[in-house]
Amino acid sequence: MLITVKRISFEDCYQSENSAKTYLPGDTRSDSNVSEPTGTSTASIGPFLPKGSRPCLKPVPIVKDDGQWNEERRVEDESSIAHYERLDRQFQDYFVGPVPKDFYREFLPETASPMPRFRPSLVGALAQFNPTGEEQLLCRTLEKQTIPYLGEGFYQVTNDTPGFPYCSDHPHHDKNVVFQNNKDPSVSRDLETSELYFEVKSSVSDDPFRDHNPLLRTRTSHRFLKSAPDHAIRRGQLVAYATDAFARQHRQSYYSVLICHYRARIIRWDRSGALVSESFDCSNAEGIALLGDFLWRFTHAPPAARGWDPTVLITSKEDESAFAHHPVLKEWYEEGSVAKLLMWNQEKEKFLELLVSRSAVSPLSMVGRCTRGFWALDKAIGLVVFVKDTWRVCGMEPEGKIIQKLLDHKVRNIPELQSHGDVPDGKYGFQHTWTQRYVKDYYCGRKPRIPQYTHYRLVSKTVGHSLAHALENSRQLLLATRDAFQGVLCFETDRRFHGKLIQVLYYNSF
């Protein structure tokens, strides 16, 4: 059963009144009170974000009429089992753990206000639950434990119990918001606005992970992932929910909690994998305190610490109106979903402000480059541009530099580059993944090579449609093919071949 934790309002501010160690992007004060996550490099310091920046927590409208994307997102139909099994096979090498159960403290700041004390009556409540009982009753028991630790403006909601409307009685919960399962809206509709999710199973044996056996000298011989088919399906389910949340939100990381009867695990997801904690007992005082500490820190943390992209900001009504009424951008407009992307221009040493709405390309996977594309409006000059939002492998030459070199060699049919660069986090440097840093000490079995990814954006003045949607006749197809092959000739000029040149489309410049 899925439980999602949400905010009542999509608007948020970076500084929490109850937080002792928060960070305001653009603030030039000393960071001596902010503990840097383990392994952070200070060699590259990114730009501060503008003061007063307000993050946009609205969902990202997905690409329209994309049969492949819709096929990949089936989570409630008869093909769900096969879909989960495939996701598990693809993601197996990216589960890193078990990491210490309090690992989240390296990412979520401490709070000044004390955490509420749990009621003694809660101790043992989950352990007394009948494992063969209904999961919805387990959710009710879980709610009593977790609701006191949700910060102001957060509430819980369950959405996949047939005929069972579930509405939290948290004092800050909007009583008009009630979710229930009826196949439509789907689970995805619920995840697009979630801050984190709980996956609840009624039995300890449903846990698809296995903790490290202390009798084993090394982790190499330990099998962290259980091999039973049912366990593979449950892991695939976890991956599917996280993938959907990433695809529908502007995120750099995401959290979830797996509850199997009275045992719990905390999971942190990013584009290089998932950190899975050791399981801990939620039926005793220590376990309740640990879960409560995680929720208390999470709901009092600034959006960037909760995994949101701090360079995606709320727009004004005037900005949304400018996007909505632009003759070229009407196709990509979704009411109430316009956001402002900040793109750092290294040469001019200032931020470009780009208005975006519905994505033209949506990511299909949880790990890797996970490219997302937008038709955007440059506020400063009123020009329509294309934004490629992706995660590049660290150590490889950025795509923008390759395109610039091709342009310098006067290669034909190369998109005109406006700007490119890594996405700043406003604090320590640039947004990058963290999972790979834990592989050496905590990965069980044969260690895979998990690269570090850095969030990267490329802005092109040349904007176009895909061949599937733009072609009107065979002449356009032949012209597009000719232009692509002319671009391929760059291999003879600079001994370089840009992997995307063969996908040069029928371009229209605006």
Sign of the Cα pseudo-torsion (293, 298, 304, 307, in order): positive
Least confident among 11-25, 180-194, 477-491: 11-25
CB contact burial 178-216 (16+ within 10 A = b; e otherwise)? ebbbeeeebbbebbbbbbbbbbbbbeeebbbbbbbeeee
Say which range, 16-25, 113-122, 130-139, 475-484, has the weakest mean pLDDT. Answer: 16-25
Confidence at residue 99, expressed as pLDDT on a 0 to 100 scale: 94
pLDDT, tens digit (0-9, with 9 covering 90-100), for 231-240: 999 999 999 9
Whether pLDDT at 44 is above 70: no
What was the pLDDT predicted at 217? 64
Please give the mean pLDDT across all residues of the chain: 77
Look at 123 and 390; give whichever has higher pLDDT. Answer: 390
Residues 355-393 have pLDDT tens digits of: 999 998 888 899 999 999 999 999 989 999 999 999 999
Give the number of other Cβ atoms within 10 Å of residue 467's Cβ. Answer: 16
Tell me: pLDDT of 165 over 50: no
Q: Tell me, what DSSP letter sits at residue 252?
A: S
pLDDT at position 383 is 93
- Short-list 506, 467, 461, CA closest to 343: 461
Residue 162: CB atoms within 10 A of its CB come to 9
Three-state DSSP state, 281: strand
Residue 112 has pLDDT above 50, yes or no: yes
What is the pLDDT averaged over residues 99-111? 93
- In sequence order, the β-bridge partners of residue 77 are none
Q: Does 186 score more than 70 pLDDT?
A: no
| Mean pLDDT in residue range 150-169 | 52
Question: Which tokens hold the place of 77?
Answer: 């139909």
**373-382 residue pLDDT tens:** 999 999 989 9
Range scoring the smallest mean pLDDT among 58-67, 375-384, 421-430? 58-67
Note whether 383 and 510 are within 8 A (CB): yes
Distance CA 82, CA 78 (A): 9
The whole-angstrom separation of Cα 177 and Cα 180 is 10
Give the pLDDT mean for 92-116: 91
Which of residues 108 and 37 earns the better pLDDT score?
108
Greater confidence (232 vs 158) lies with 232
* Number of alpha carbons in the 13 Å side-chain half-sphere of residue 62: 20
At a CB cut-off of 8 Å and minimum separation 6, what does 321 contact? none
**DSSP 8-state class, residue 272:** T
Give 341's contacts (C-beta < 8 A, 6+ positions apart).
311, 312, 313, 353, 354, 355, 356, 374, 376, 387, 389, 457
The total number of residues shown for the chain amounts to: 510
Q: What is the per-residue pLDDT for 134?
A: 65
Is the pLDDT score of 306 beyond 80?
A: yes
Residue 495 banded pLDDT, cuts 50, 70, 90: low
Please tell me the pTM assigned to this model: 0.83
The reported pLDDT for the residue numbered 15 is: 36
pLDDT band at 429 (very low <50, low <70, confident <90, very high): confident
Q: Is the pLDDT of residue 122 over 70?
A: no
